Amino acid sequence: MLNPKFIPLAVTCVLFFVLFGIGSAQFEGFGSSRVFFNLLSDNAFLIIAAVGMTFVILSGGIDLSVGAVIALTGVVCSVLISKYNMHPLVVFPIVLVGGTAFGAIMGAIIHYYKMQPFIVTLAGMFFARGLASVISEESIPIEHDFYNQVAEFGFMLPGDAWVGTSTLIAVAVLIAAIIVAHYTRFGGRVYAVGGDMNSAALMGIPLASTTIRIYAISAFLATLSGIVYSFYTFSGFSLAAVGVELDAIAAVVIGGTLLTGGYGYMFGTLIGVLIMGVVQTYISFDGTLSSWWTKIVIGLLLFCFIALQQLLVRNRK
């Protein structure tokens, strides 16, 4: 029989294939490789942000600052590139280091002051969004040859499927996250902290460094997501990515990661994002449904997966 801890992941995978199969049966071209890789391309920035969120939720925490960090990253990049004529390859390391430090500070506050991650990251969300608005309330276009080269870089696959830079970055991040989460000592510590923090402390796991690194990774990936997001928009805007942190949380939960921490898989997060993308694509192909149906369906799926998680937790006890 299937191990109970794999049930949410298995349900997620089956649900994706069912939804993709329904769309393929109903609409011509829906089941093509082009549509599938478009799901990856269109949601590459969300995949990256959701991977960072997975580390946080696996540890039993939450990060509400993700969307604001994405917006702040875009604004800072656009200002440094467009107004100060800095090359993107110089700007990107600067914002990545700054974003990582921001996450590390939140992690340190959470651990040393024994504060709830919800409150600390909520404050971080307001801070990052406010700072982005102070820098510029208007959208700042990015006009640089490097961005044009990034947009043009990629290769074609059979079925007229395009694999671009954003997709490649998202896949690389996912592979690296799978290795870190499932095959390194740090990954084991993340699961242990999420399973039972007191037991983890008794096992000798350094809670301070682990917590700080978890939130630093989340902020680093949110910043990288902001860079990838700027490849789509060719601009920076302080009100961009509003609600992306909620989309990331939804993708992680639908992907089978337990909200209380300790159980979950990075691959499941990818499938969770793809399920959300399939719902959006179905609505686009249909043409008669409101885009708000995406939120309705995602809400129903969240209710179902949370109920499934509670059922599995009770059975485990």
Give tens-digit pLDDT for 243-276. 999 999 999 999 999 888 888 999 999 999 999 9
Give the DSSP letter of residue 4: G
Question: pLDDT-derived band of residue 316, with 50, 70 and 90 as boundaries?
Answer: low
Write down the pTM of the prediction: 0.96
235-245: pLDDT as tens digits: 999 999 999 99
Residue % of the chain over a pLDDT of 70 = 97
For 70-84, 115-129, 163-177, 285-299, which range has the lowest pLDDT when averaged over its residues? 285-299
| Residue 317: partners with Cβ closer than 8 Å, 6 or more residues away | none
How many residues does this entry show for the chain? 317
The domain over range 4-316 is classified in CATH as 3.40.50? no
The residue to which tokens 């390859």 are assigned: 89
> What pLDDT sits at residue 25?
95
Give the DSSP letter of residue 258: -
The residue to which tokens 């395009």 are assigned: 162
| Residue 150: partners with Cβ closer than 8 Å, 6 or more residues away | 165, 231
Neighbours of 32 (CB within 10 A): 15
Question: pLDDT-derived band of residue 1, with 50, 70 and 90 as boundaries?
Answer: low
Give the DSSP letter of residue 255: T
Short-list 119, 106, 136, CA closest to 222: 106
Looking only at Cα atoms, what is the longest distance across the chain?
61
> What pLDDT sits at residue 305?
87
Contact 69, 222 (CB under 8 A): yes
**pLDDT above 80 (res 3):** no
Rg of the chain (C-alpha set): 20
| Residue 38: partners with Cβ closer than 8 Å, 6 or more residues away | 161, 162, 281
Contact 235, 37 (CB under 8 A): no
Handedness of CA 185, 190, 192, 197 (dihedral sign): positive
Distance CA 200, CA 181 (A): 16
Average pLDDT, the chain: 93
> What pLDDT sits at residue 201?
92
